[in-house]
Amino acid sequence: MMIIFLLPIVQLLLFGKVINTDIQNSRIAILDQSHDNTTREITSKLVSSGYFVLGEELMPGDDVEDVFRKGQVKMVVTFGSEFEKNLERDGKADVQLLADASDPNTARILTAYASGIISDYVKKEKLQNLQLPNQIKTEVRMLYNEGLKSVYMFVPGIMAMILMLISAMMTSISISKEKELGTMEVLLASPLKPIQIVLGKVTPYLLLSFINALTIILIGVFFFGVPIKGSFILLMAESFLFIMMALSLGILISTIAPNQMVAMFISVLALMLPTILLSGFMFPIENMPLPLRILSHAMPPRWFIVIIKNIMLKGTGILFVWKETLILMFMTFVFIALSIKNFKIRLE
């Protein structure tokens, strides 16, 4: 009963807080090759704007892509050498904004904000004294997705969503259907072991989901031109892991839900909405308020999407996604353990 009154409140708060494409506290890295007053001031302007947080200071020669592969930093600001001198002498200076465009929306907004702040600073602070035309050249580069195609973002997101839907929702519904119709009791009273029953229920969805994952990737690659820069085998292995996670989640839901209705309800509420809202698929996680940011850690798709983007767009190997992989493994393990525990309680 409570749920009827709580649901709209939760939904409203969730949507209101989550759907927020503004940028706040995005992590950036600075590669400052001239280290003069102007570059320092620009850096502090960027950081004090509230949009950016200084994540890392790079040295010339550092591998910029490595920074992105770790996944924390969303943009690297590079100041050319002798920035201040060039600006004062010729009225020209180079600054490069390199953004991680595996999330094209965020990349677009970040670079636009940063360009704005930089040219604003130069106009206000410098040019009054210099009386020179504004010649600061901001070069914007979008890494991993030069065309800023949003399909690059949707392929991993849709994949997470579909796999959750097919694996977790269908499994939980089909098992709770057997409970509802009484056929489950007959199966349990037969010589079949519980593990055989569960495997029997889960295997078709494992195959279906795997075919689905493959189809989504193929359409993404051949129809939309999304690259697979990393290992295809690793990509499929990670998809397999995610499917296993979703299946065990489905089994867990079915041990809780007494019938199909409840299973459906829990699946939609606990799987669909968080997958769309809290996984970082559509709305950047950094922009969310702290409680939701913490909650998003518990969302399996969040980790899967990071893995998929890394492998497909950034071409990283297992070395850069082992943490996310371990988290998914841990979740699978927890769901299976909880399912077994629930199942035993039901038998007693």
Chain residues binding another protein by CB under 8 A are 181-183, 185-192, 347-348
Task: Please say which residue, 184 or 334, places its beta carbon nearer to another protein.
Answer: 184
* Least CB distance to another protein at residue 252 (A): 21
Q: Please choose, from the candidates 268, 267, 271, the residue with its C-alpha nearest in 3D space to the C-alpha of residue 298.
A: 271
Instruction: Output the smallest distance, CB 345 to another protein, in A.
Output: 11
Q: Which is nearer to another protein, 261 or 329 (CB)?
A: 261
CB of 248 to another protein, least distance (A): 23
Residue 98 Cβ, how far from another protein at the closest point, in Å? Answer: 56
Amino acid identity, position 174: S
- Name which of 7 and 186 has its Cβ closer to another protein: 186
Q: Using a CB cutoff of 8 Å and minimum separation of 24, what contacts does 252-255 make? A: 252/172, 252/335, 252/336, 252/338, 252/339, 252/342, 253/168, 253/171, 253/172, 253/176, 254/171, 254/172, 254/173, 254/175, 254/176, 254/179, 255/338, 255/339, 255/342, 255/343, 255/346
Asked if residues 31 and 78 have their Cβ atoms less than 8 Å apart, the reply is yes
Min dist. Cβ of residue 227 to another protein (A): 43
Question: Is residue 297 within 8 Å of 328, Cβ to Cβ?
Answer: no
Q: How far is CA 3 from CA 266, 268, 308, in A?
A: 12, 14, 35
Rank residues 64 and 184 by Cβ distance to another protein and give the closer one. 184
**Sign of the torsion formed by the C-alpha atoms of 301, 307, 308 and 313:** positive
Q: How far is the CB of 184 from another protein (least distance, A)?
A: 9
Angle of helix 83-90 versus helix 37-48 axis, rounded to 10: 110
Q: Which is nearer to another protein, 10 or 181 (CB)?
A: 181
The secondary structure of 161-230 as a DSSP string is HHHIIIIIIIHHHHHHHHHHHTHHHHHHTSS--HHHHHHHHHHHHHHHHHHHHHHHHHHHHHTT-----S
Q: At closest approach, how far in Å is the CB of 259 from another protein? A: 11
Residue 162 or 192: the one with the smaller Cβ distance to another protein is 192
How far apart are CB 180 and another protein at their closest, in Å? 8
CB closer to another protein, 159 vs 202: 202
Identity of the residue, 63 or 348, whose beta carbon is nearer to another protein in the bound complex: 348
